[in-house]
Chain A
Amino acid sequence: MQLALIVLLPFIGAVLPALMIRAGRNACATTTFAVTLTALLILLSLAPRVFAGEVVQYRLEWLPSLGLDVNFFVDGYGLLFAGLILFIGLLIITYARYYLAKEDPMGRFMAYLLLFQGAMVGVVLSDNILLLLIFWELTSLTSFLLIGYWSHLPEGRQGARMALVVTGSGGLSLIGGMLILGQIAGSYDISVIITRAEVIQQSPYYIPALLLILGGCFTKSAQFPFHFWLPHAMAAPTPVSAYLHSATMVKAGIFLLGRLWPALAGTDAWFYIVTTTGLATMVIGAWIALFKDDLKGLLAHSTVSHLGLVTFLFGIGTPFAAMAGVFHIINHAAFKAALFMNAGIIDHEAGTRDIRQLGGLVHLMPISATMAFIAALSMAGIPPFGGFMSKEFMLEAAAHTAWFGLGFDPAVGLVATIGALFSVAYSLRYIGHVYLGPKRDDYPHAPHDPPFGMWAPPAVLVAMVVLIGLVPNPVVGPLLATSAAAVIGGELPYYSLSLWHGLTPALFMSIVAVIGGYLLLTRHTAAIVFRARFWRPEAKELFEAAVAASIGWARRGTWALQNGSLQRYLAALTGMALLGGFVTYLAAPGSLGSEPMLPVPALALVAWLMLAAACGAVVFRHRQRLFTLVLVGVIGVIVSLGFLYLSAPDLALTQISVEVVSVVLLLLALNFLPKTTPVESPLPRKARDAVLAVFAGIGVTTAVYAVLTRDFSSISEFHLANAYKGGGGTNVVNIILVDFRGLDTFGEIIVLGIAALCIVALLDTAMQGASGRRIANWQVDMKRSADRHPLLLVVGTRVMLAFALAVGAYIFLRGHNEPGGGFIAGLVVSIALIMQYMASGFAWAQRRAGLDYHAVIGWGVIVAGLTGVGSWLFDYPFLTSWFDYITLPIVGTFEVASAIAFDLGVFLCVVGSVMLALARLSRVGRIAEHLEVAEGAMDVDPRDVPNGAAAAIAAASPAAAK
């Protein structure tokens, strides 16, 4: 539990500084400090057990089916890293309190810092590698926030982005590698994985796993050729650089190399890849550092170089080298954090980090100078400081390492010595060109030593550097022993923590490096000239070019599909759907079933031929829109006949009545649209669309045929069995609609109502703006009949109205037991009303109908909803239907069901929606044609004609009778 708490504390605590900043900067920093200190104290409380050789564990099942569990463990190695992260974190928090300017939002900074800290501690304490991966990604994300903290600076944003891209893509590689590793080892727990080296190294997947994991580690730890992001991350505030590049972020890759060392190290592949990368990084980083004029740039490349050194040591694969690597991690964390803070002090107090503008600061900033001397000498590997010892170990290991099994091979030792030589040169440059030399009078600010709070944190680290050098055994002896033992996973090799090891090869290499480094620095100007002769790749430009190229390709790819043309989108969409369908089908052949087929009556064949002809005509004659509309009507009728033949009377009724209203609606719309379609698609596009269409047809035919010939069992048995018992009706389709799936139907009538309201919204606003002007200037483009409201139609529909309404009522009432119901009745009644509108004009009929269709829709939904709610009164769930049989005198026994009220709601909603849509559309038509609302029902009132027959007709007309 304590273990999980160490990880959780910084995350939970991250809220506090964001809040405490309201109480001032001191309160904010103190809270942050307290959070980190608590986590550190909990960790230290576990330390005795770890030193006693115990592995402290915390396990909690999270998603065991995925192998993802919240498993933490701390051994010596984890303790070392967690301790460094939290301890240096404390120093950084103190330092940042004084470093950040008043206008910098400190609350945000501290919150980011704690989040990052939590992610780092999570990485080093996770046992489950999937959990580790989560924290690993979190470090990439939170470091992005920290590096880009000064988001107003373009360098900050670019540096943060670059770091995120490089470490983030490395993280992806790591995920792949870790998953493979977990599969090989049969466990996702590190504590198990590191015991299965043999299984892992003999697996054929060892090499891919290794390469992917190294991809993650090398990007994170800025190994060549991924080192370029680290110097650009220097745009961050100095406390961030000090934290990220000494003990945390970049150490994560190194940490993982060490953590998985027992499982992965020792093979040829590991040796050649890791050692070579490490050596190359060490030398290249040190060489570049020598020429950086920016203090932080120098330190950044020095960090790259030292990370290369540790990588090199882990790569060698011997326990001694691994121990040396762990030791150098400790030393590097101490002197590098101190130097970064020192660079920040110079920047803060002298106003510049440019070495060319500095020099002679030893006279003005004696405290900072002393600390810088000690830390830089440790970095150079000069006795009696800690860095000397780990560098000696490194040279010792290098001297005994041979490439390609040649026995004694001086190449490795030579390259390592060159790396050490450059390291000496840039370390001495930090001392010589910044602090020594004559005092200058052109510093941007007047330099002086910083306040105590700013120099105290590096002072602590410098004290550590000195103590490790002078009395190594009591200071780091036990820690080094436990943590190195945890990495090696076995017996510790012999080593002695002392400054003098006798006249070893390492000592001579050291001497060469120190003297050579000093000489190189004295010829610094010549070296600059020498370096300028060669072409050097500019990492930032290459990176930007690569990013720009990939964006270009992405844009090109997007543009190929998303070029702003709907036709392109739909073709791509259809094509992909077809591809998916056909690939799936062809991958599983023989999916056709063997059920016997129904016989084909001659009439069905005729209907099929008519449908085929109509489809063909629609396709080939689609430019004549009115004709197309007629054909659509034909197809609709054939489909509804098909429903009728295939035992679906309800569907046939619905389809045929929908057909009528759709055709009316499309005609009304077509009134305004062009009546023909221009010829414009080029032949290739037509061919493309034809191919897509043909394949769509073939695919659907095959799929439907395959289904129809297969064996079948349906859940409908339940509906058939319970329709009468539970729903009180015999028309199962209707019972399903109003009872079993009543909520579905309720939703659907609401959708229908909303569609109608959207149509109103679209048409009522059409009178304004460009659309309004077009309507105002619209010219009738088709011949109009002289008869606006023909006499025969008016009289005929008047007579029909009563019958149609009666049919509607009949269909509605019988719906529960016979084909019919609210939907169909609604459509039939709508058709009856539309006929009146067509005969006598919209406004005339509307005035007499006196119905507000908005309200009809609303009432429909309310009635249906209330019926549902009604069942609550009887303690039943929403929409439970109720029915009973009532016996009245004369009428006899009949059924009363609550479902009929629900169906009434459906009915009202359908009538309202259909009528509202059509009414609004025809209103636009009347306005566009500048027609007056007709006074009478017909164009000519028969009573005005002196003719007996006309008078008789007029008397029969209900409208005229008024």
Chain B
Amino acid sequence: MELLVASAIGLLFAAGTYLLLRGRTFPVVIGLTLLAYGVNALIFAMGRLHTDRPPVLSLELESYADPLPQALVLTAIVIAFGMTAFVVVLILRSFLEVGSDHVDGSEPHDPATPHHYPDGSARPADRPEGVGIGGGRS
């Protein structure tokens, strides 16, 4: 069971990480959601795995699952919802504002090598509008 849980958390992290690195905002939000599942499960697992021993005091049970990680994760789930809600509204507003849902705030010039300058030089004229602080308005 432990291996199953550990690998399930690993799967959530792997999928979440891959989506986090995508170029459009919506997959990134989905990636964050998956990562939130993974992180919550990870924190929960730190209290070790127990079956049929919920931390509700009763006369029948001798020992209980660790309640502390559960309490931490309970609020974490709600906060993760708050964060997802905020981020999703943020990407929506950014999309409405600049007309592109690319994570850099504008459509890449060349789809093959977006925003990549091989010689490493800064060419402000070429830089996609909306990159950096104060940008974001078309």
Contacts and interface: CB of A to CB of B under 8 A. Distances in A.
A420 interface: no
Given A625-B26, A665-B85, A733 B67 contact: yes
B34 A615 contact: yes
A566 B104 contact: yes
B5 A642 contact: yes
Interface string A626-649: 001100100110010011011111
A443 interface: no
Interface of A: 555-556, 559-560, 563-568, 570-571, 574, 597-600, 604-605, 608, 611-612, 615-616, 618-619, 622, 625, 628-629, 632, 635-636, 639, 642-643, 645-651, 654-655, 658, 661-662, 665-666, 669-670, 672-674, 677-678, 680-682, 689-690, 692-694, 696-702, 704-705, 707-709, 712, 714-716, 719-720, 723-724, 730-733, 736-737, 741, 744-745, 748, 751-752, 755-756, 758-759, 762-763, 766, 769-771, 774-775, 817-819, 823, 827, 910, 913-914, 917, 921
A672 B121 CA distance: 37
Contacts of B73: 648, 651
Contacts of B64: 647, 720, 732
B33 to A, nearest CB: 6
Contacts, number: 330
B126 to A, nearest CB: 10
Given A674-B101, A737-B74, A819-B54, A762 B113 contact: no
A649 B64 CA distance: 13
A658 B57 CA distance: 26
Interface string B1-25: 1111111111111110111111111
Given A565-B115, A677-B27, A759-B86, A598 B1 contact: yes
B114 A680 contact: yes
A570 B20 contact: yes
B3 to A, nearest CB: 6
10 contacts: A625-B26, A655-B40, A669-B91, A672-B92, A678-B111, A680-B114, A716-B47, A723-B57, A732-B57, A759-B86
Contacts of B70: 648, 650-651, 733
Contacts of A642: 5, 8, 41
Greatest chain B CB density within 10 A among A618, A709, A712, A917 is at A618
Contacts of B134: none
Contacts of B103: 565-567
A661 B78 CA distance: 11
A745 B50 CA distance: 25
Contact of A709 (B2, B24, B47, B90): B2
Contacts of A639: 37, 40-41
| B-side interface size class | 35 or more
Interface of B: 1-15, 17-27, 29-30, 33-34, 37-38, 40-42, 44-58, 64-68, 70-71, 73-75, 77-86, 88-93, 95-99, 101, 103-104, 108, 111-117, 120-122, 127-128, 131-132, 137-138
A672 B108 contact: no
A274 B6 CA distance: 63
Given A618-B19, A755-B86, A651 B30 contact: no
A557 B66 CA distance: 47
A700 B98 contact: no
Contacts of A707: 45-46
Contacts of A733: 55, 67, 70-71, 74
Given A648-B70, A759-B85, 12 more contacts: A564-B127, A566-B103, A618-B34, A622-B19, A677-B24, A696-B13, A755-B82, A759-B89, A763-B93, A771-B93, A817-B56, A917-B89
Contacts of A608: 4, 7-8
Contact of A741 (B71, B91, B137): B71
A697 B11 contact: yes
A939 B95 CA distance: 32
B21 A669 contact: no
A164 B94 CA distance: 44
A598 B14 contact: no
Contacts of A555: 120, 122
Given A642-B5, A766-B93, A662 B33 contact: yes
A714 B97 CA distance: 49
Contacts of B67: 716, 719-720, 723, 732-733, 736
Nearest to B137: A770
A636 B51 CA distance: 20
B82 A635 contact: no
